[in-house]
Amino acid sequence: MSAPLFLFATVAGTDIAMPTDELEAVVHLGEIMPIARTAPQVRGLAALRSRVLTVIDVRTLVTGDLTEMGRAPLAIVAEVEGHTYGLLIDRVSDICPVEGGMLPVRGRVGAAWESYAKGMILFENRLHLAVSIPDFIRQQALSAAA
C-alpha cells in the first residue's frame, strides 16, 4: 500500500497540508467577479474550463484578514457536495507522499486554526497543520448564515 499524497501550502503564514484526494487542481485564476451582499470571505465567481467557481478566501475565513489579490491569484480547486470552489491560498510548496502519516496536534495551534486542525504532518523537517477542504466550505457556510 502506498503512502497517501498531501499538498503542502501556506496560508496567512501557517504551513498546511491537505490530502490530494480532496482536490482537483491548483491553478492561477483569471478575473474574479464580485458578488453583492456576500460575506467577506466569498471573493466572487471565477470561470475555469467552462465551469463557474465560487472563490473562497481561506485567509479571510480563518483570520479575518483579506488576501491581497494579484493578477492571477493562486487557488485550490475542489468539488464539495456537488459545487465547485476555488480556495485562495498564498503559496504551494509541494505535493508528495507522507510515509509517517498524520501525527496528533503538537503544541499550541492558534485559535484561528483550532477548528480546522486534524493533526500534524512532518514535511521537510517542519510540522504542517493537517486540514480538510470540506471543513473550510462548511465553516464558510456557517459564517455566511450567521
Q: What is the DSSP letter of 89?
A: -
pTM of the entire predicted model: 0.91
- What span, in angstroms and rounded, lies between the C-alpha atoms of 71 and 85? 19
> What is the CATH architecture of 5-145?
Beta Barrel (2.40)
Average pLDDT by stretches of 10, the chain with 146 residues? 89 95 96 93 94 96 88 94 96 91 83 92 92 92 72
Q: What is the pLDDT of residue 1?
A: 59
Amino acid identity of residue 86, one-letter, is G
- What span, in angstroms and rounded, lies between the C-alpha atoms of 32 and 91? 19
The answer to whether residues 98 and 123 touch, using CB atoms and an 8 Å cutoff, is yes
- What span, in angstroms and rounded, lies between the C-alpha atoms of 133 and 62? 13
